[in-house]
Amino acid sequence: MKHIQSKLALCKSFLKNRLSNPLIYPVYQIIKKYLARSWIFILYKRSLLRRKVYTGPYTATDTGNNQITNAGKHPDIIPMLLKDAKATAPLTIGFIITEDHPSTIYGDYFTAHGLGDALEKYGYRIVYLPERPIYEWHHLSSIDILVVTRHSFDPFLLRHYPGITSVAWIRGYVDEWCRAPWFEEYDIILTTSKISLQYAKRFTDPVKCLAVLRLAADTKIFKPGPSQPGYESDISFVGNIFEVPREFTRKLTIEPGVTFSLYGKLTDTGHRFRRYHRGKVSHGDIPKIYNSSGIVLEDCTPMCQPWGCINSRTFEAMACGACVVSNEVPELKELFGDTIVTYKSRKDLNYRISWLLENEKIRERIGKKARAEIIKHHTYEHRAEELRQALFQYFGIAPPETR
């Protein structure tokens, strides 16, 4: 085990700050996929869990709903899910995430909290279980429904809690999710695209693959507002550029007189857009950027693009009424139509950027239609109800309006 640990440390040290190299990144992805599917590596990770006593039941004083029902099937799940007067306690929904603080760079925090806040309006109890800085993935004693947003989570931990209904919410890394040796152990599979839902059916019982649950926007945070001094720019991009090569960085040309601002993590000191880098930005300041930009660039990464998994930034920028220009993603145009602009090539991208910068009224019209589309179909309130419908289907419950 010490030998494996030392080798992993060497690999991590070598790859640090090199992953933006387009030659190294594909090799890195192959190594990650191989390790994720290797039973030697899986057993190694599980041995660490055992040594840290992570696999034993959580011994805190919270003996929530799962402790009552984990001897068999949920006898109380229907009234809890429906918020019926017969419910003895609120339904507890847990989210497996990377980190649980708003300064994180990991998107699962914001998507989980967006959905969780909307679910709380139904009276459910919401719990967030981060992997770091303090490992809490094993704090499962009070959970009824566990929504997993991380493909690296091993349902091995759930064997001590048979009363938990596990939900894999696949937002990216589709192949890694589906080819994980434990994928069949999940009770429910939800994805953020039709393509990934069909693909998932090849690796588990198709009956488990219940629905598409896309990402969304919190329209109370992401909304139109005045341009903010210090954030004004002709073109802006919000996102991290470190492990994953970005398509727009290879194709975009910044013409003389055009201002461009890039926000987020940028680890490559020699990156061609380094001079446009404005540093990291808090999630609360992102709406200021979107409302102060003529055009907002969106870039779906290689972990999501082939699968049609549209990222949360797209929904959020559109919710602000921004004119969004994105690389092509399957299902993107099907979902948004002419409320978003896409490009195919270097020439196409630079033509559309130039044309839009010259036509402010067209940008404004696109932005207004984009905002209306998000409010109508793509808020977290919509997603909370869609998740409830998937749970009703799984438990064989008639939705409240049909009862």
In a domain, 55, yes or no: no
The mean pLDDT value for 355-369 works out to: 98
Same domain, 373 and 385: no
Assess whether pLDDT exceeds 60 at residue 138. yes
The answer to whether residues 137 and 129 touch, using CB atoms and an 8 Å cutoff, is yes
CATH number of the domain residue 112 falls in: 3.40.50.2300
Same domain, 373 and 388: no
Both tokens assigned to 97? 């995430």
The percentage of the chain sitting over the pLDDT mark of 70, rounded to a whole number, equals 79
Same domain, 372 and 392: no
Assess whether pLDDT exceeds 90 at residue 1. no
Same domain, 87 and 122: yes
pLDDT at 162: 85
Describe the strand order of the beta sheet including 92-97 as a list of residue ranges: 125-130, 92-97, 145-148, 165-170, 188-191, 209-212
Assess whether pLDDT exceeds 50 at residue 144. yes
In a domain, 56, yes or no: no
Same domain, 363 and 389: no
Same domain, 71 and 157: yes
**Model confidence pLDDT, tens digit, residues 5-64:** 455 455 555 554 554 455 555 555 556 555 555 655 555 555 555 554 444 444 433 434
d(CA 148, CA 169): 6
The answer to whether residues 137 and 131 touch, using CB atoms and an 8 Å cutoff, is yes
Assess whether pLDDT exceeds 70 at residue 247. yes
d(CA 131, CA 157): 13
Same domain, 96 and 194: yes
Give CA 250 to chain center in angstroms.
Answer: 24
Same domain, 178 and 244: no
Both tokens assigned to 332? 């993107």
* Distance from the first to the final alpha carbon of the chain: 56
Residue environment code for 253-289, b if the CB has 16+ CB neighbours within 10 A, otherwise e: ebeeeeebbbbbebebeebebeebebeeeebeebbbb
Q: What residues are paired with 97 via a beta bridge? A: 130
pLDDT at 367: 98
Q: Is it true that the peptide bond before 133 is cis, omega within 30 degrees of 0?
A: yes
CATH number of the domain residue 262 falls in: 3.40.50.2000
Domain count, the chain: 2
- The pTM score is 0.83
In a domain, 16, yes or no: no
pLDDT at 62: 43
Q: Phi/psi zone of residue 355: left (φ > 0), alpha (ψ -120 to 50 degrees), beta?
A: alpha
Give CA 285 to chain center in angstroms.
Answer: 19
In a domain, 220, yes or no: no
Domain range enclosing 134 = 65-215+381-402
Q: What is the mean pLDDT of the chain?
A: 85
Same domain, 72 and 211: yes
Q: How many CB atoms lie within 10 A of CB 165?
A: 21
- Nearest CA-CA partner of 169 in 183, 151, 149, 144: 149
Same domain, 136 and 209: yes
Assess whether pLDDT exceeds 50 at residue 174. yes
